[in-house]
């Protein structure tokens, strides 16, 4: 397993084979996954492999506490997530390269935090169903707290004899550990809701993708109204899970956007 | 590495060892894996574990087997629906194609068990 030490933490990182002669002026594409039950593998087939095949340098990693990365008790706030990302890029020797962040769900929220905090580093954004404004913090806290309680009530079996039980137990154990034995829920509760002023000072190009039936669409439209260089793509018939449900359409849009951002930087 | 010719039986043994390493030998014994073993139905492999396997395969076999191209045609559900033999076949065929000679002798898979 590719492990990288950054910000005093062990991160699981996957770098897909880079083009033989990478162009340092092109942004490195860095993927940020969603909360709790998510990890880097969500991006692998639908977007990361196609991006690598299209000639982009690709970095995937499991966020703090998720997937195969180390799970400390604290540090699940957005500020620490940005510090983790910057430290990780430094550890990978990419500190001076522009990056294009592709974030799914809460990973999109983190990508926006990173772009606002480090405009010198972030050359472009692709945000898939990011919670941005409105009551998303309260809604997410309700969901996470309910999940935490249900996991507490049904402890993970320790006697496992089959591969299938092993898989179920692993998925449950990660969620239980994150929700009941880290500060993740408390840290999400401190999340700052973005304002139109935040969007207005975002000068990198942004592709924002939302499902037609998503409750996050109103926030996306508000973002579109204020961010100077945003394109919003609404995927018909879909809800929140655009990454899983719409690989073909989404793939074309994201690859086109990545090419446009890279081309604009190089020319 | 991509220029060596590998019999399918050797590729199967190597992939099996990688799977045991990823899943853990308390759950999976090497002699339980055959070409007919499927990643999802039989091994209940998580997608993140398949990513770990792909990394090991790339390290072992290099660019010559174009694993990324092979996987990029599929979504994760299709990838996990594959059998170990599907992957063995791709790698054995790729290494035989890039090998300088004697390739055709070494691509047949052992019978599914």
**DSSP class of A45:** I
Interface with chain A: mutation pick from B60, B61, B69, B72, highest number of A CBs within 10 Å? B72
- Could you report how far apart the first and last alpha carbons of chain B are, in Å? 29
Interface with chain A: mutation pick from B23, B48, B81, highest number of A CBs within 10 Å? B48
Angle at B63 between CA A85 and CA A256, to 5 degrees: 55
Which residue is associated with the tokens 């002026």? A25
Q: Which of A17, A42, A67 sits opposite B63 (nearest CB)?
A: A17
A205: Cβ–Cβ under 8 A, 6 or more apart, which residues?
A: A124, A125, A229, A230, A231, A257, A260, A261, A264
DSSP reduced 3-state for A3: strand
Sign of the torsion formed by the C-alpha atoms of A146, A148, A151 and A155: negative
Contact at CB, A163 and B42, closer than 8 angstroms: yes
Residues in chain A within 8 Å Cβ distance of B25:
none
Give chain B's domain count: 1
- What is the rounded distance in angstroms from the CA atom of residue B9 to the CA atom of residue B13? 6
Residue B65 has pLDDT above 80, yes or no: yes
CB A19 within 8 A of CB A55: yes
Residue B29 has pLDDT above 50, yes or no: yes
Contact at CB, B58 and A17, closer than 8 angstroms: yes
CB B23 within 8 A of CB B40: no
Pairing state between β A3-6 and A28-32: unpaired
Instruction: Please give the residue range of the domain that contains residue B70.
Output: 8-100
Nearest chain A residue (CA) to B28: A163
Contact at CB, A247 and B75, closer than 8 angstroms: yes
Residues in chain A, overall count? 267
Q: Which CATH number does the domain housing residue B32 bear?
A: 1.10.1200.10
**DSSP class of B76:** H
pLDDT for B102 equals 42
For A110, list phi and psi in degrees, rounded to 5: -65, -40
pLDDT for A123 equals 95
Sign of the torsion formed by the C-alpha atoms of A114, A116, A121 and A124: positive
Instruction: With respect to residue B105, please indicate whether it lies within any of the assigned structural domains.
Output: no
ipTM: 0.85
Nearest chain A residue (CA) to B45: A167
Instruction: Please give the residue range of the domain that contains residue A199.
Output: 3-266
Residues in chain A within 8 Å Cβ distance of B23:
163, 166
pLDDT for B105 equals 37
The CA-based dihedral angle spanning residues B52, B53, B59, B61, taken in that order and rounded to the nearest 10 degrees = -160
Interface with chain A: mutation pick from B22, B41, B51, highest number of A CBs within 10 Å? B51
- What is the rounded distance in angstroms from the CA atom of residue B113 to the CA atom of residue B20? 18
Instruction: With respect to residue B80, please indicate whether it lies within any of the assigned structural domains.
Output: yes
Distance from CA of A159 to the nearest CA of B (A): 12
pLDDT for B107 equals 40
Sign of the torsion formed by the C-alpha atoms of A83, A97, A63 and A108: positive
Q: Which CATH number does the domain housing residue A211 bear?
A: 3.40.50.1820
CB A29 within 8 A of CB A258: yes
Contact at CB, B51 and A41, closer than 8 angstroms: yes
Instruction: With respect to residue B69, please indicate whether it lies within any of the assigned structural domains.
Output: yes
Contact at CB, A166 and B76, closer than 8 angstroms: no
Q: Each residue's pLDDT tens digit in chain A (267 positions)?
A: 589 999 999 999 999 877 677 778 889 999 999 999 899 999 999 999 999 989 999 999 999 999 999 999 999 999 999 999 999 999 999 998 999 999 999 999 999 999 999 999 999 999 999 999 878 888 889 999 988 988 887 666 555 567 777 888 888 888 999 999 999 999 999 988 899 999 999 999 999 999 999 999 999 999 999 999 999 999 999 999 999 887 689 999 999 999 988 877 655
Between A78 and B64, residue with greater pLDDT = A78
- What is the rounded distance in angstroms from the CA atom of residue A253 to the CA atom of residue A241? 16
Give chain A's domain count: 1
Which residue is associated with the tokens 């510090």? A83
Q: Does B50 touch chain A (CB under 8 A)?
A: yes
**DSSP class of B43:** T
- What is the rounded distance in angstroms from the CA atom of residue A104 to the CA atom of residue A127? 6
pLDDT for B104 equals 39
Instruction: With respect to residue B27, please indicate whether it lies within any of the assigned structural domains.
Output: yes
């Amino acid at each position: 397993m590719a492990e990288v030490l950054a910000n005093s933490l062990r991160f699981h990182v996957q770098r897909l084979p880079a083009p033989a002669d990478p162009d340092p002026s092109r942004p490195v594409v860095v993927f940020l996954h969603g909360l709790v039950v998510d990890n880097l593998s969500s991006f692998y087939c639908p977007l990361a492999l196609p991006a690598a095949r299209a000639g982009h340098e690709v970095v995937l990693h499991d966020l703090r506490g998720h997937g195969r990365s180390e799970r400390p008790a604290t540090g699940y706030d957005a500020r620490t997530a940005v510090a983790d990302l910057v430290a990780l890029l430094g550890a990978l020797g990419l500190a001076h390269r522009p990056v294009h962040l592709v974030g799914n769900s809460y990973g999109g929220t983190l990508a926006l935090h990173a772009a606002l905090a480090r405009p010198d580093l972030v050359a472009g954004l692709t945000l898939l169903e990011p919670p941005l404004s409105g009551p998303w913090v309260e809604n997410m806290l309700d969901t996470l707290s309910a999940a935490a309680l249900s996991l507490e009530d049904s402890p993970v079996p320790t006697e496992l004899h089959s591969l299938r039980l092993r898989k179920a137990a692993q998925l449950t154990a990660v969620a239980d550990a994150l929700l009941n034995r880290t500060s993740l829920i408390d840290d999400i509760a401190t999340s700052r809701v973005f304002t139109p002023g935040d969007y207005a000072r975002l000068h990198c190009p942004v592709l924002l993708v939302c499902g037609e039936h998503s409750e996050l669409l109103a926030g996306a439209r508000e973002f579109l109204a204020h961010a100077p260089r945003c394109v919003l793509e609404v995927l018909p018939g879909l809800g929140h899970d655009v990454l899983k449900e719409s690989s073909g359409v989404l793939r074309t849009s994201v690859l086109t956007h990545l090419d446009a951002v890279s081309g604009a930087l190089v020319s | 590495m991509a220029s060596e010719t590998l019999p399918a039986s050797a590729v199967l043994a190597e992939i099996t060892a990688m799977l045991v390493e990823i899943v853990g030998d308390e759950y999976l014994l090497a002699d339980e894996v055959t070409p007919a073993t499927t990643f999802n139905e039989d091994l209940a492999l998580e997608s993140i574990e398949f990513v770990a396997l792909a990394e090991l395969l790339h390290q072992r076999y290099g660019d010559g087997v174009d694993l990324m191209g092979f996987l990029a045609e599929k979504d994760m559900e299709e990838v996990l629906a594959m059998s170990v033999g599907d992957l063995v076949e791709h790698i054995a065929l790729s290494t035989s194609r890039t090998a300088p000679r004697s390739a055709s002798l070494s691509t047949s898979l052992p019978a599914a068990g």
